[in-house]
A and B are shown apart, each in its own frame.
Chain A
Amino acid sequence: MRRDFPRNLDSLSPLYEFAEKLFETNDISPGVRFPVHLAMEELFVNMVKYNPNVTTDITVEVTVTFLGEATNDATSSKEVTVTLVDDGGVEFDVTAKRQVNIDAPLEERTPGGLGIHLIQNLADRLEYTYKDGRGEVIFTKGSGNEDV
């Protein structure tokens, strides 16, 4: 499934609906739904916020791969790959380690970098490429590897 979304936060509701339809159609297990949904939200919001003057759409493509026998029910192993293409945005390597001190006391905690920190910890694989002004993020999560 592939769809272009206008680069603004009004696209989040259609993006959520896009994700839910995909989950239902492919009977994706709850342990995979959550990290995939989270990755779509966090990555999309980052692309919007860090590129306020860019007007190109953001392309979201999701593929489901059967890891074993293709029975298409929640018990079969599936790997979900989400690709977001940011054409015209600034370079933002989501695989780079961020300064998020999760052991700091409340008074010293800041909210920055939490979204990327979560994605990095929930992904089976996280890839980023940037060439000629075109950024591409690939987030992969498979059943059997659920963290939640």
Chain B
Amino acid sequence: MEIKTTETGDVNVIEVAGHLDTNTSPDAESAINTLIDSGAQKVLINFAALEYISSAGLRVLLATAKKLKASGGDLKICSLNDTVQEVFDISGFSSILTVSKDQEEALASF
């Protein structure tokens, strides 16, 4: 898994590539928490290069969404492949998280 963080205006964009699974989720959660703890309020996670996600990855997203909402912030997700989209649909994450088809649409939704 690789994580790249950039800023677009007041939105912090996190690009996650590879596999978000039991082995890699702790590192992803740590990187996201570091960002939030430094004051990030608007967070966009771009999954364009994400190939695989398991329940461990979903737990990180759930914790992140709750943490941001509690502090008045917002988490949005974009660019899911078909496999990850199916996981989101089965788990109900498509309903509780804002998911956009691409980064441009996601940035406009903040």
Q: Which residues of A contact B (CB under 8 A)?
A: 9, 12-13, 16, 30, 34, 37-38, 41-42, 45, 101-107, 109, 111, 114-115, 117-118, 121-122, 147-148
Are A118 and B22 touching (Cβ within 8 A)?
no
Are A102 and B92 touching (Cβ within 8 A)?
yes
Are B22 and A41 touching (Cβ within 8 A)?
yes
Tell me whether B37 is interfacial, beta carbon within 8 Å: no
Are B22 and A114 touching (Cβ within 8 A)?
no
Tell me the dominant secondary structure on chain B's binding face. helix
Are B66 and A111 touching (Cβ within 8 A)?
no
Interchain CA distance A37-B95 in the complex, whole Å? 25
Q: Mark B43-64, 1 if CB is under 8 A from A, else 0.
A: 0000000001011101100110
Chain B residues with CB under 8 Å of A118's CB are 54-55, 87, 90-91
Interchain CA distance A9-B56 in the complex, whole Å? 13
Interface residues on B, range: 20 to 34
Q: Which residues of B contact A (CB under 8 A)?
A: 19, 21-23, 52, 54-56, 58-59, 62-63, 65-66, 69, 82-83, 86-87, 90-92, 95-97
A111 with B55: in contact, given A12-B23, A34-B83, A41-B21 (CB under 8 Å)?
yes
Chain B: minimal CB distance from A100 (Å): 8
